């Protein structure tokens, strides 16, 4: 077995043979690869790996410094020994300035074992330096891990996350998208105050362990501060990120308990999705805003940046005091129109007007009082306003939704109620929108809001069945009414279906 592999570069064949013999006489176990020009050196060095290179200072038309730079680029860890027939001091200095290991006059190199001794010393020195570099690098890595690890949870800390965000932001691949997920434990201060800080620490560690189990090897999870955990997760869409986060939220609520009380620990989460190259502190800020929206609208839920944007604009138009709530809602739609997809425009426009027209007919048959009719009119027209915060790609899917996707779609009712309140609508109007997808056998009471919501529920279902949807063709009014009647008493109130039936048969969809 060969002890070492040496690259020998010498343009003079007789000198090359003498140098090779000198090396082999001193160490017969050497494997020597020879080259006579710069091109041959590069051709040999690119696929190979050498323990040392011996290079003549002059390889016309090049001098050693030029060739050494090429070799150091290809094999940066290979030590180099330069030989030369000239013992001029400037030749020696120029060689050593290139970073070579040693210089040997050619007259000394071809006789005795001096050349091999210098090569051997260069190999030993380089390997010693490599071991020292590895040791130093391991220590640096260990110190970095200690400095970038949160001692309580074992997750990365904020310093590490800041560094990773900067590194991700430099990636040129625009195809990759990154979800920034901010997780905050609900009522964490109350856990510390009532159960003790040890219980709070245990809850945070438990949540961190679940997060660690749910992320992939190339995702990042860090304790951002206090009870906040930040996850950077590769996600192709907001839908994908929301489903992952919501499943995580549900697992936390089912598995984590607070101290001796054993009460469930829940988490509120916010999401922003952006191209990897666009990842920045702004991404974290948007995810944080979405998390605060989740806190403000009930906790133990997942909100997204598009939801935040819709709510922020709703509050903005809601400040226009001279407008009615309906006018403000229409202004909101006008401002968001450039960002809306085709399905979002349909659901918040023609479909909403269809449901409103049907609902007003049902209200007349049921002899509802003027206050209820007014609330029903506004709520039915804008019952789908919350879909401004639902991804268009999800709304436009040409198939039935999965259960996970359905959970995200269902968020539009709660978001719609938030938007109506922000635009100055009454509490009854907002509550009706929030309840409009509830089955009648799941209603929590028989109040005004529940009754009006049941009207929208049936009218919404009829309008959806009789108009084209991405996932199905429209069906005839007679068949749609039959579907409603089949679910009467479970999904839909029987009196609402009975009142809707004659109106449905003559209904014409709004333009």
Q: Taking Cα atoms as reference points, which of 429, 414, 341 lies closest to residue 380? A: 429
Cis peptide before 282 (omega within 30 of 0): no
C-alpha distance across the termini of the chain, in Å: 86
pTM here is: 0.74
DSSP run (H or E) holding 244: helix 238-255
Res 186 pLDDT > 90: yes
Q: What is the mean pLDDT of residues 318-329?
A: 93
Q: Which two tokens stand for residue 380?
A: 């039915």
For the chain, which domains are there? 4-132 (3.40.50.2300), 158-186+223-300 (3.30.70.270), 309-505 (1.10.3210.10)
What letter would DSSP give residue 401? Answer: P
Task: Give residue 220's pLDDT.
Answer: 92
Torsion on CA atoms 235, 239, 244, 250, rounded to nearest 10: 160
CA 290/CA 248 separation, integer angstroms: 16
pLDDT digits (tens, 9 = 90+) for 201-260: 999 999 999 999 999 998 999 999 889 999 999 998 999 999 999 999 999 999 999 988
Q: Which two tokens stand for residue 370?
A: 């003027």
Task: Give residue 165's pLDDT.
Answer: 87
Return the bridge partners of 71, or none.
none
Q: Are 379 and 423 in contact (CB under 8 A)?
A: no
Task: Give residue 511's pLDDT.
Answer: 60
Task: Give residue 173's pLDDT.
Answer: 63
Task: Give residue 319's pLDDT.
Answer: 92
Name every residue whose Cβ is closer than 8 Å to that of residue 426 and which is 6 or more positions away in sequence.
325, 375
CA 383/CA 374 separation, integer angstroms: 14
Task: Give residue 69's pLDDT.
Answer: 87
More confident residue, 287 or 146: 287
Considering the chain, what is the average pLDDT of its residues? 91
Q: Which two tokens stand for residue 352?
A: 């909403």
pLDDT digits (tens, 9 = 90+) for 95-106: 778 788 888 998
Name every residue whose Cβ is closer than 8 Å to that of residue 413 and which is 6 or more positions away in sequence.
383, 386, 433, 434, 435, 436, 437
Q: Are 9 and 36 in contact (CB under 8 A)?
A: yes
Task: Give residue 171's pLDDT.
Answer: 67
Q: pLDDT band at 174, cuts 50/70/90?
A: low
pLDDT digits (tens, 9 = 90+) for 344-363: 999 999 999 999 999 999 99
Q: Are 392 and 304 in contact (CB under 8 A)?
A: no
CA 310/CA 314 separation, integer angstroms: 6
pLDDT digits (tens, 9 = 90+) for 492-504: 999 999 999 998 8
Burial call 256-269: b when 16+ CB within 10 Å, e when fewer: bebbeeeeebbbbb
Number of residues in the chain: 511
Task: Give residue 470's pLDDT.
Answer: 84
Res 189 pLDDT > 90: yes
* C-alpha dihedral sign at 166, 169, 172, 178: positive
Distances (CA, A) of 22 to 56, 111, 224, 505: 15, 6, 64, 105
Q: pLDDT band at 47, cuts 50/70/90?
A: confident
Task: Give residue 482's pLDDT.
Answer: 92
Q: Are 297 and 303 in contact (CB under 8 A)?
A: yes
Q: Which residue has the tokens 């945070």?
A: 204
Q: What is the mean pLDDT of residues 141-163?
A: 84
Lowest mean pLDDT among 153-167, 207-221, 322-336: 153-167
Q: pLDDT band at 303, cuts 50/70/90?
A: very high
Sheet holding 30-35, edge to edge: 30-35, 4-9, 52-56, 80-84, 102-105
Task: Give residue 148's pLDDT.
Answer: 82
3 state SS of 437: coil
Q: Which two tokens stand for residue 459?
A: 């009218």
Q: pLDDT band at 486, cuts 50/70/90?
A: very high
Lowest mean pLDDT among 53-62, 188-197, 380-389: 53-62
Q: Which residue has the tokens 């988490």?
A: 267
Distances (CA, A) of 116 to 3, 253, 459: 13, 70, 93
Q: Which two tokens stand for residue 479?
A: 């068949």
């Amino acid at each position: 077995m060969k002890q070492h592999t040496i690259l020998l570069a010498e343009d003079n064949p007789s000198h090359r043979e003498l140098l090779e013999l000198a090396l082999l006489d001193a160490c017969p176990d050497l494997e020597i690869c020879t080259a006579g020009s710069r091109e041959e050196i590069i051709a040999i060095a690119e696929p190979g790996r050498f323990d040392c290179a011996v290079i003549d200072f002059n390889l016309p038309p090049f001098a050693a410094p030029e060739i050494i730079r090429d070799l150091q680029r290809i094999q940066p860890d290979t030590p180099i020994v330069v030989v030369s027939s000239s013992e001029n001091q400037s030749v020696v200095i120029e060689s050593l300035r290139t970073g070579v290991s040693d210089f040997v006059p050619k007259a000394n190199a071809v006789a005795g074992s001096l050349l091999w001794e210098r090569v051997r010393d260069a190999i030993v020195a380089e390997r010693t330096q490599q071991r020292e570099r590895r040791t130093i690098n391991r220590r640096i890595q260990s110190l970095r891990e200690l400095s970038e690890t949160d001692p309580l949870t074992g997750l990365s800390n904020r310093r590490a996350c800041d560094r990773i965000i900067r590194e991700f932001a430099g990636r040129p691949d625009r195809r990759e998208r990154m979800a920034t997920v901010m997780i905050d434990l609900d009522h964490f201060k109350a856990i510390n105050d009532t159960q003790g800080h040890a219980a709070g620490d245990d809850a945070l560690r438990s949540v961190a362990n679940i997060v660690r189990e749910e992320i992939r090897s190339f995702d990042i999870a860090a304790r951002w501060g206090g009870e906040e955990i930040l996850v950077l997760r590769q996600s192709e869409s907001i839908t994908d990120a929301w489903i992952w986060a919501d499943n995580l939220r549900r697992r936390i609520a089912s598995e984590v308990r607070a101290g001796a009380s054993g009460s469930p620990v829940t988490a509120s989460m916010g999401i922003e999705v952006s191209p990897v190259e666009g990842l920045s502190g702004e991404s974290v800020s948007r995810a944080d805003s979405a998390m605060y929206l989740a806190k403000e609208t009930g906790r133990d839920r997942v909100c997204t940046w598009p939801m935040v944007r819709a709510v922020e604009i709703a509050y903005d138009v809601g400040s226009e005091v001279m407008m009615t709530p309906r006018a403000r809602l229409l202004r909101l739609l006008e401002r968001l129109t450039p960002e809306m997809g085709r399905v979002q425009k349909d659901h918040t426009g023609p479909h909403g007007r269809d449901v409103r027209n049907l609902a007003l007919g049902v209200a007349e048959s049921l002899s509802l009082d003027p206050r209820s009719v007014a609330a029903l009119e506004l709520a039915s027209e804008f019952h789908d306003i919350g879909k401004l915060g639902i991804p268009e790609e999800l709304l436009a899917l040409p198939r039935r939704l999965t259960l996970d996707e359905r959970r995200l779609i269902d968020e539009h009712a709660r978001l719609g109620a938030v938007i109506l309140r922000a635009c100055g609508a009454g509490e009854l109007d907002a509550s009706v929108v929030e309840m409009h997808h509830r089955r009648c056998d799941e209603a929590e009471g028989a109040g005004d809001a529940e009754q009006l919501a049941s009207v929208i529920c049936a009218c919404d279902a009829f309008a959806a069945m009789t108009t084209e949807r991405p996932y199905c063709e429209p069906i005839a009014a007679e068949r749609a009414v039959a579907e409603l009647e089949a679910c009467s008493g479970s999904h839909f109130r029987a009196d609402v279906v009975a009142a809707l039936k004659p109106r449905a048969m003559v209904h014409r969809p709004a333009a």
